[in-house]
Amino acid sequence: MRMYDCILAKKMGRELNRDEIEYIINGFTDGTIPDYQMSAFLMAVCLKGMTKEETLALTMAMAKSGDMLDLSPIAGNNADNHSTGGVGDKTTLIVGPIVAALGVPVAKMSGRGLGHTGGTIDKLESFPGFVTELSEQDFFSQVNRVKFAVMAQTANLAPADKKIYALRDVTATVDSIPLIASSIMSKKLAAGADVIVLDVKAGSGAFMKTQEDAILLAKTMVEIGNGAGRKTCAVVTDMSQPLGYNVGNILEVKEAIKALQGEGSKDLMDASFTLAAKMLTGAGRAESFKEAYTLAQGAVADGSAFEKFCEFIRAQGGDDSYAKDTGKFTRAEMEVEVRAVREGYVRRMQTEEIGMVSLLLGAGRQTKESIVDLSAGICMHVKSGDYVAAGDVLATLHTNRPFGVEEAHKRMLGAVEIGEEPLEKTEHVLAVIHSDGQGQEAGRI
Ligand code: URA
């Protein structure tokens, strides 16, 4: 087999078979296929697309390029959720404890944040003492005992994806649905969960800017997951504004804690209860979506989800007194208000720009080596559709970087559009894609 022929075949729009795809992925991972040939191949995929069969074969080859975690030591069906990344997305911190409090094990491998989207591992490290480097044995034993554990992604999880992603990033080949779907799902399949619930974001703060593209990506990932023998479904949610009100690690942890104590914003709770309900039905804990949703709401209302969160923080060495008294968390030295310059209705938000402002304040990583300031970020005071008078506070910027404040203030003001007409408020959950690829309400995973 020759890489030249595979590139040519894809360029001409011919379907590649599994052997050819495995040859490409294995060869690129072990270094026998050079970057320039892989770049040409990735560009051909961007331009010609991939069939369902090719996308599944690509994902499996990438998943098998490193360790495949075997979660069989965990008792019962375990469930995992995954977000394609957004601004202010703290759902894992809420969903995990809810599902675990209802007895379904959640064994989670998570990454650190890069760019304008945050990472669960960074957020959890806001708790003094919290350990994310767990041995497999400790990870399994905690999941069996507490029903919830989160460990940092191991270096050898889908190494092919790591190498391919680095190349995509510099060859303008990121925005391809088969490449995004295989990248995400290779890591999910390697992480071993029985039930996978995907949260695919749509809007100005997400990879997928339109609902149509997000649904297409969701369907592609659902097909891959089920094709690989895992119960997989997806929820498509709105990312045309930050999720909830806070952006930045400690600020998001505080908001997640409030949500677990029953004081979450509507969009955050809609997303969290929907994801939790899909995980519960997938794992067989509830018969119907409606029953599962009610169970999830009950776990917040009766305090068991918050209790589970504290137990989980303690189990990984963290100081859970911070969860009980969030005033103990460090605050940034500067808090700067951004005020509306005119009256009107909050219309669109440039959500990615809000994410970039939080980076400027120190809350994220520009490169893998950047150090995150856990206390930095943004507290939004408004949602799209809200009325504001001139001088009302739109957001508070939290930072320890005086040099970036002026620019951050200016860009934040520009990111929140205020207009004459009220904007119709839309649902946060835009679509649910079931495991059979159909989009509808309730019932099956
Ligand atoms: N997240 C991933 O892990 N991979 C992509 O290609 C896009 C988002």
Per the DSSP assignment, residues forming a β-bridge with 80 are 196
List the structure tokens of 252: 């998001």
Q: At what angle do helices 289-301 and 266-282 cross, to 10 degrees?
A: 120
pLDDT at 443 over 60: no
CB of 184 shorter than 6 A to ligand 1: yes
Place of tokens 């959640």: 106
Q: List CB contacts of 354: < 8 A, sequence separation 6 or more.
A: 87, 205, 242, 247, 378, 380, 412, 415
> Among 114, 164, 180, 208, which residue has the most ligand 1 atoms within 8 Å of its CB, making it the best to mutate?
180
pLDDT the model gives residue 105: 98
Q: How many CB atoms lie within 10 A of CB 126?
A: 21
Q: Which of 10, 64, 82, 308 is catalytic?
A: 82
Residue type, 367: T
CA distance from start to end of the chain: 40
Residue type, 189: L
pLDDT the model gives residue 445: 64
Distance CA(266)–CA(252), nearest Å, equals 15
How much distance in Å is there from the Cα of 180 to the middle of ligand 1? Answer: 5
- pLDDT tens per residue across span 151-189: 998 889 999 999 999 999 899 998 899 999 999 999 999
Structural element, H or E, at residue 163: helix 159-170
Among protein residues, the one whose CA lies closest to atom 2 of ligand 1? 184
CATH 1.20.120.1200 fits 79-324+428-433, yes or no: no
- Closest atom of ligand 1 to 165 CA is 6
Q: Which of 176, 183, 384, 435 is catalytic?
A: 183
Backbone angles phi, psi at 114, to 5 degrees: -140, 135
Distance CA(308)–CA(102), nearest Å, equals 10
Backbone angles phi, psi at 224, to 5 degrees: -60, -50
Give me the mean pLDDT over the 346-366 stretch: 92
Domain ranges for the chain: 3-49, 79-324+428-433, 331-419
Of residues 322, 417, 418, 401, the one with CA closest to residue 358:
401
- Closest atom of ligand 1 to 184 CA is 3
- pLDDT tens per residue across span 401-435: 999 899 999 999 999 999 998 888 789 999 999 98
- pLDDT tens per residue across span 195-244: 999 999 999 989 899 999 999 999 999 999 999 999 999 999 999 999 99
Three-class DSSP category at 424: coil
Residue type, 48: K
CATH architecture for segment(s) 331-419: Alpha-Beta Complex (3.90)
Residue 174: exposed, middle, or buried by beta-carbon count in 10 A (0-12, 13-18, 19+)? Answer: middle
Distance CA(113)–CA(123), nearest Å, equals 9
Q: Give ∠ CA 240-246-247 in degrees, rounded to 5.
A: 75
Q: Which of 64, 163, 168, 428 is catalytic?
A: 168
Q: How far is CA 256 from the centre of its chain?
A: 15
Per the DSSP assignment, residues forming a β-bridge with 83 are 199
Distance CA(40)–CA(58), nearest Å, equals 16
| CATH homologous superfamily, domain 3-49 | Transferase, Pyrimidine Nucleoside Phosphorylase; Chain C (1.20.970.10)
Q: Are 236 and 430 in contact (CB under 8 A)?
A: yes
Of residues 357, 405, 410, 416, the one with CA closest to residue 382:
416
Backbone angles phi, psi at 350, to 5 degrees: -90, 90
Of residues 47, 49, 61, 51, the one with CA closest to residue 18:
61
Of residues 284, 303, 286, the one with CA closest to residue 294:
286
Query: Which among 123-137, 361-375, 428-442 has the top mean pLDDT?
Result: 123-137
- pLDDT tens per residue across span 362-403: 998 877 777 899 999 999 999 999 999 999 999 999 999 999
Catalytic residue status for 168: yes
Distance CA(35)–CA(20), nearest Å, equals 17
Q: Where are the alpha helices (DSSP H) in 31-135?
A: 35-48, 52-63, 91-101, 120-124
The band of 133, judged by pLDDT with boundaries at 50, 70 and 90, is very high
DSSP letter, residue 404: G
CB of 101 shorter than 6 A to ligand 1: no
pLDDT the model gives residue 440: 63
The band of 30, judged by pLDDT with boundaries at 50, 70 and 90, is very high
Among protein residues, the one whose CA lies closest to atom 5 of ligand 1? 180
Q: Are 329 and 367 in contact (CB under 8 A)?
A: no
List the structure tokens of 317: 């060495």
List the structure tokens of 119: 């990472």
How much distance in Å is there from the Cα of 182 to the middle of ligand 1? Answer: 8
User: What's the chain's average pLDDT?
Assistant: 94
pLDDT at 442 over 60: no
- pLDDT tens per residue across span 274-325: 999 999 999 999 999 999 999 999 999 999 999 999 999 999 999 999 999 9
Q: List CB contacts of 148: < 8 A, sequence separation 6 or more.
A: 96, 97, 99, 100, 105, 106, 108, 142, 308, 312
Catalytic residue status for 278: no
Q: How many CB atoms lie within 10 A of CB 341?
A: 10
In Å, the largest CA–CA distance within the chain is: 67
Catalytic residue status for 381: no
